């Protein structure tokens, strides 16, 4: 397929970058690690040279035809065109720099521009863009500045518009906030002026290409084997489980790991604002909310989807995150035969989780007495998992609590496992261990009746633990 337009007049030969010029910033000499390799810096002259080559490529190619090619073929043809333009000049630019420039141009035309280099690093879990010149990444739970930047505000807006348009969303002054997702499942939030005062902001939550398992979480020190055995048995015996934690504490990862214990012959309905769950069972129906259109119509909320899912003969309902009035519909579903449901919620402690559920039910606008709401919660939920991202960057389950019922007007819970924190060592690592409280939960009998033989030893205080 011929992608080269007939050149009517080529740009005059470009001046090669001066030898020995200093890099624009020493930040470009940092090592990205994790497979992305060394991000070599370009001098100011080389950056200008790249810009001119890019303009020539855009003028010289029919970019609309690239949409009909697969990514590898499109990159190959862009590479050939760049080589042609570069060959028109006599330049002492090293081949490594030329290849870097070509790759940057390929990323700009086909991908997400400067962010593509970060997506090639599998160790990066979050990408946070605070305006065109400040890009931060999270690696192993720690934030650091990334050695990439955008040319200007317009360049950043172009990339944001490219992301949201791919999923049928829009972003402009009349709708300056958007949630979206990338083809690899990464979750994206963008907010632009006038809401973002210092320029457009982009937040990307990535998910590992390799799906994490409970065994891997044990190896990472997120929980112990006895805790994992109890959680696996709880899922298989159809207990209703609510996973709580702060932003970035690993709630979605834990939800994915727990869902792996759902038998493959069950029908599962997942409900999310932005689809990111990675269930492996064959019978999964994935539902996703829809924002209103430009006229303010057509919105479909999580509450709408929860209500609709009850008409779809679900055997399990998995709610990505409880945010508002859908809490009431989820509790009612759990109380009317749809047991074995899983959901996440933002909360810092198990007691906060119960209080947040109460407040979310109140968001429905229905005048339901507080006592009735608490009875609904106590009868619907079986287990509360509390997660936390701690100072050393590690995510841990800090508490597993059983919801045991009501005592007067108070929901009673009992802690089964906890993370006993001791302090922080000289290297900044959190020191502590997981311990069993010794309490045998009420649901143990329910496990036995369902044919799940869970060794009582997992509840002993001297059970296997991690430091």
Strands 383-389 and 241-245: parallel
How confident is the prediction along the chain (467 residues), in pLDDT tens digits per residue?
445 444 433 333 333 333 443 332 222 222 233 323 334 467 777 777 788 888 888 887 777 777 778 888 888 888 888 888 888 876 667 788 888 888 888 888 888 888 988 988 888 989 999 999 999 999 877 889 998 888 889 989 988 988 888 777 788 888 898 888 787 778 899 999 999 988 899 999 887 666 788 999 999 999 999 999 999 999 999 999 999 999 889 898 999 999 999 999 999 999 988 777 888 889 999 998 887 877 778 889 999 999 999 999 999 999 989 998 899 999 998 988 888 999 999 999 999 999 999 999 988 888 889 999 999 999 999 999 999 999 888 999 999 999 999 999 999 999 999 999 998 888 888 999 999 999 999 999 889 888 888 888 888 887 654 44
pLDDT at 349: 94
pLDDT at 175: 84
pLDDT at 32: 30
Contacts 24+ apart (CB under 8 A), 214-222: 214/257, 214/258, 214/260, 217/253, 217/254, 217/257, 218/466, 220/394, 220/395, 221/394, 221/396, 221/466, 222/250, 222/394, 222/395, 222/396, 222/397
C-beta separation of 320 from 277 below 8 A: yes
| Residue 383: closest CA among 418, 346, 342 | 342
Distance CA 425, CA 13 (A): 60
Sheet containing 430-436: give its strands across: 284-288, 268-272, 316-319, 342-346, 241-245, 383-389, 395-407, 410-424, 430-436
pLDDT at 37: 30
| Residue 118: closest CA among 220, 203, 54, 212 | 203
pLDDT at 353: 95
Helix pair 71-87, 95-110: axis angle to 10 deg: 130
pLDDT at 27: 25
Q: Where are the domains of the chain?
A: 1-110, 115-209, 214-459
> Are domains 115-209 and 214-459 of this chain identical in fold?
no
Is 214-459 CATH 3.40.50.300? Answer: yes
pLDDT at 350: 95
pLDDT at 235: 95
Give the chain as a 3 state SS string. Answer: CCCECCCCCCCCCCCCCCCCCCCCCHHHHCECCCCCCECCCCCHHHHHHHHHHHHHHHHHECHHHHHHCCHHHHHHHHHHHHHHHHHCCCCCCCHHHHHHHHHHHHHHHHCCHHHHHHHCCCCEEEEEEECCCCEEEEECCEEEECCCCCCCHHHHHHHHHHHHHHCCCCCECCECEEEEECCCCCEEEEECCCCCCCCCEEEEECCCCCCCCHHHHHHHCCCCHHHHHHHHHHHHCCCCEEEEECCCCCHHHHHHHHHCCCCCCCCEEEEECCCCCCCCCCCEEEEECECCCCCCCCCECHHHHHHHHCCCCCCEEEECCCCCCHHHHHHHHHCCCCCCCEEEEECCCHHHHHHHHHHHHHCCCCCCCHHHHHHHHHHHCCEEEEEEECCCCCEEEEEEEEEEEEECCEEEEEEEEEEEEEEECCCCCEEEEEEECCCCCCHHHHHHHCCCCCCHHHHCCCCCCCC
- CATH class name, domain 115-209: alpha beta
pLDDT at 41: 62
C-beta separation of 432 from 420 below 8 A: yes
Classify residue 133 by burial, with Cβ atoms within 10 Å: 0-12, 13-18, 19+: middle
Distance CA 354, CA 411 (A): 8
Token pair of 244, please? 């709580």
Which residues are paired to 139 by β-bridges? Answer: 124, 142
pLDDT at 147: 86
Strands 316-319 and 342-346: parallel
End-to-end CA distance of the chain: 60
């Amino acid at each position: 397929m011929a992608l080269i337009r007939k050149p009517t007049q080529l740009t005059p030969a470009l001046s090669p970058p001066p030898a020995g010029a200093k890099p624009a910033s020493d930040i470009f000499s940092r090592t990205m690690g994790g497979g992305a390799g060394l991000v070599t810096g370009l001098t100011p002259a080389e950056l200008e040279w790249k810009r001119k080559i890019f303009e020539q490529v855009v003028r010289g190619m029919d970019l609309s035809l690239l949409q009909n090619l697969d990514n590898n073929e499109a990159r190959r043809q862009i590479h050939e065109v760049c080589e042609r333009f570069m060959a028109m000049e006599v330049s002492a630019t090293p081949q490594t720099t030329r290849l870097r420039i070509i790759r940057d141009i390929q990323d700009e035309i086909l991908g997400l521009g400067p962010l593509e280099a970060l997506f090639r690093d599998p160790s990066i879990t979050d990408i946070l863009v605070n305006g065109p010149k400040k890009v931060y990444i999270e690696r192993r739970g720690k934030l650091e500045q990334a050695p990439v930047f955008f040319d200007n505000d317009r360049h950043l807006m172009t990339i944001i518009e490219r992301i949201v348009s791919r999923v049928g969303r829009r972003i402009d002054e009349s709708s300056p906030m958007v949630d979206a997702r990338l083809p690899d499942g990464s979750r994206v939030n963008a907010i632009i002026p006038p809401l973002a005062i210092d320029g457009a902001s982009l937040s990307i939550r990535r998910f590992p290409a390799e799906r994490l398992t409970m065994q891997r979480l044990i190896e990472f020190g997120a929980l112990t084997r006895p805790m994992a055995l109890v959680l696996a048995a709880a899922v298989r015996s159809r207990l209703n489980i609510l996973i709580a934690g702060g932003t970035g504490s690993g709630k979605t990862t834990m939800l994915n790991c727990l869902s792996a214990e759902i038998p493959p012959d069950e029908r599962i309905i997942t409900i999310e604002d932005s689809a990111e769950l990675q269930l492996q069972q064959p019978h999964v129906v994935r539902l996703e909310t829809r924002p209103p259109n430009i006229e303010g119509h057509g919105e479909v909320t999580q509450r709408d989807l929860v209500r609709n899912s009850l008409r779809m003969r679900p055997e399990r309902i998995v709610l990505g995150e409880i945010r508002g009035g859908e809490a009431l519909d989820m509790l009612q579903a759990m109380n009317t035969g749809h047991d074995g449901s899983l959901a996440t919620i933002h909360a810092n402690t198990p007691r906060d989780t119960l209080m947040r559920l109460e407040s979310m039910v109140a968001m429905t606008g229905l005048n339901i007495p507080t006592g009735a709401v608490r009875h609904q919660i106590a009868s619907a939920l079986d287990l509360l998992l509390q997660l936390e991202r701690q100072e050393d960057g590690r995510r841990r389950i800090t508490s597993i609590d059983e919801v045991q019922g009501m005592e007067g007007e108070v929901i009673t819970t009992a802690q089964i496992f906890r993370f006993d924190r001791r302090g922080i060592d000289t290297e900044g690592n959190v020191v502590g261990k997981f311990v069993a409280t010794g309490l045998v939960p009420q649901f143990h009998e329910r496990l036995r009746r369902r044919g799940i033989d869970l060794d009582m030893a997992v509840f002993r205080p001297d059970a296997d633990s991690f430091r």
